[in-house]
Structures are given as structure tokens and as C-alpha cells.
Amino acid sequence: DGGITQSPKYLFRKEGQNVTLSCEQNLNHDAMYWYRQDPGQGLRLIYYSQIVNDFQKGDIAEGYSVSREKKESFPLTVTSAQKNPTAFYLCASSAVHGISYEQYFGPGTRLTVT
């Protein structure tokens, strides 16, 4: 089955540690996205990438970093510079050319930093 996988489902870290969240897709989509979700805030875009080896900052990129070395993978690193990293993180992907910008979402990773 085609889809997006995120691992792990739950992640716990100590304050001051960097942590990397995994996102893999086998939909052959060019574009991938990372969102942060907090209660009552909706989804806020962290980073997105439309092509391998290229990515752009979203609305809340501070304290996060990404890489896009392969089309199917778009890992997100939450650095120690992120002041409030505890949140639910969602990865998504979409085709870029010729259609309606519909995004497909992974199941999410809930990160808790104490």
C-alpha cells in the first residue's frame, strides 16, 4: 500500500537534546511538508520541500532543521534551540505538477520534552 510512515509514534526526550523525527513516503510525490500541531492552533508549517536537495522555511522554522537527500525521505530535527518542542508533528506529501495541491498525511509523532 502507498502511504506515508512516521516513526516513532511517541517520542520522549530530555530538554537540551536534539531529536530527529522520521518521515518516509512511497507515493512518488515530489513535495513533502512538516507541520506542528498544538491544541487550538491548527496546523502550522515548519518546512517544506518540492525537490530533492532543496527546502524552504515555513511559518515557524526557528529551532528546526530538515534535509531532503532522497525523494522519499524528509527527516525533521528538533534542536535544543526550539523553546517549546512538545507537540504533535505531522508529515505530509503531495504531487507538484498539474493538480490540486492535495496533501496526504502521515499518522504523526507525538514528541514530549521534559
Partner 1 sequence: AQSVTQLGSHVSVSEGALVLLRCNYSSSVPPYLFWYVQYPNQGLQLLLKYTTGATLVKGINGFEAEFKKSETSFHLTKPSAHMSDAAEYFCAVAGDSGYSTLTFGKGTMLLVSP
Q: Are 23 and 73 in contact (CB under 8 A)?
A: yes
| 101 lies in the binding site for partner 1 (CB under 8 A) | yes
**β-bridge pairing 42-51 and 19-25:** unpaired
Q: Smallest distance, Å, CB 39 to partner 1? A: 9
Smaller CB separation from partner 1, 38 or 62: 38
**Selected range binding partner 1 among 14-22, 63-71, 77-85, 99-107, rule: CB under 8 A:** 99-107
| 66 lies in the binding site for partner 1 (CB under 8 A) | no
Smaller CB separation from partner 1, 14 or 97: 97
How does 80-94 read in b/e, with b if 16+ C-beta sit within 10 Å?
eebeebebebbbbbb
